[in-house]
Amino acid sequence: MTIMTVSGHRYDLDSRSVEAALQGQLPEPIHEHFVVINGRRWPPKQVLALVTGLDRADFTTHQARRALTRLGFTAARAASPRGHHPVPLSAALPQPAVSGTAGRPESLVEALRPFVGLWVAVRGEEVLVAAPSAKEVVAWLAQHRQRAQSMFRVPDSGPAITGAAPQ
C-alpha cells in the first residue's frame, strides 16, 4: 500500500486496488496523456477519479499521472497533443515485428492478446475500444462520437488469432 494525498484527501492505494476499480469499465478516448493498466491505455484522470471517487476537477492530469506512476504503472504522452488518439495495435511491442504463424506479424497477435474474447472497434491499425459485447462497443462509439472501420470479436485462442488450422 502507498499512502498518498490527492486534493487534500489521504488514500491508501496499491496497483491491485486500481486494477479492481477498473473492472467492468471502458477507457475513454485518449486525448494527450495515458497510463497503461492491464495492457490497456487509460486517461489518468479517469483512473484516479474511479479509484478515489473524487471529481476530475479536483486534481490535474499531472497529479493523476504522478500518483499512478508511484504505484508502478507506466505513463506516457500520445504522439500529438490534439484530438483523439486511439491505441495502436503495435504500441506495446518492440519493433521491428518478427513474422509469426501463417506469415502474420507476431506483433499483431501480441497486440491483440489483451483483447482476447472481447469485441473491438478498429480504425486503421488502431483499437478504439474493446468491450465484452458488440452492444457496448457501439454505445461507446456513439457516446464518444467515434467511427470505426471495422468491428470484430478477438478469438479466444492464439491459433484462432493467427488463422492456424485446429490440430
Residue 165 has pLDDT above 50, yes or no: yes
Least Cα distance to 65 among 28, 33, 95 occurs for 33
Q: Among residues 40, 53, 44, which one has the least CA distance to residue 71?
A: 44
**How do residues 50-74 score in pLDDT, each as one tens digit?**
999 999 999 999 999 999 999 999 9
Helix runs in 23-99, H state only? 44-52, 61-70
Nearest to 39 by CA among 16, 66, 73: 73
Q: Which amino acid is at 138?
A: V
19 burial (CB, 10 Å; 0-12 / 13-18 / 19+) is: middle
Greater model confidence, 129 or 110: 129
Task: Name the pTM for this structure.
Answer: 0.65
Check if the beta carbon of residue 92 is closer than 8 Å to that of residue 112.
Answer: no
Confidence (pLDDT) at 5: 86
Parse the chain into domains and list their residue ranges: 10-77, 87-162
Instruction: Look at residue 122 in the predicted model and tell me its pLDDT.
Output: 85
**Per-residue pLDDT at 50:** 95
Q: Write out pLDDT tens, residues 1-10.
A: 788 888 888 9
Average pLDDT, the chain: 80
